[in-house]
Structure 1
Amino acid sequence: MQNDDSLKNLAAFTPKSPLASDDYKLRRATLLGLAQQMVEKNARKSVGELLNSVLALSSRTRRILKPTVTIELDVFSPNGNRAILWDYKAKELND
């Protein structure tokens, strides 16, 4: 049997970033702070480098604002038995 400790640690992972907060105002303030840092850092950059920064920030913003995704996985062996046994104790989402 393989070691499942790393999967259990991953399942119990709690993000500590303010970007993962449920508080909209905290996430917004953090994003504005990131944008301000990027502006200050890119004050003397070329147009291409500035465009890359804007694209990176917009893609981060899109990812952060997306809802959490739930994945259901069913994998079967050729003889019809389950091929993966994964005991993942996830929090139930209240939608």
Structure 2
Amino acid sequence: MSTTVEFSGTVRRWDPGKPGGLAVVDVPADCVQQLGGRKQQRVAGTLNGAEFAGSTMLVAGGGFCVGVSKAALKAAQAAVGDEVRVVLRREHP
């Protein structure tokens, strides 16, 4: 059985100095433990209702985020800077 978390967040660049680089959405602190804690892991869910899969990542300074591919952004009709609705569940191996 997997736990599902839902939240809204803003799509941002992992490295603001690389305009074409990885896009991420920060996971709110109150959702991190429900996903299994601050560790890299595979997740799946929806982005603005569109199915996607990604990986969670630690952020310097104590944050936590999920990577979002260009294809997932396109399917969700979203771009860097947009507010999105995210539903995530941890993928078990």
Q: TM-score, normalised by structure 1?
A: 0.19
Query: Which of the pair is proportionally richer in helix?
Result: 1
Tell which has more relative contact order, 1 or 2 (C-alpha 8 A, sep 6+).
Answer: 2
Which structure has the bigger radius of gyration? 1
**Larger relative strand fraction:** 2
TM-score w.r.t. length of structure 2: 0.20
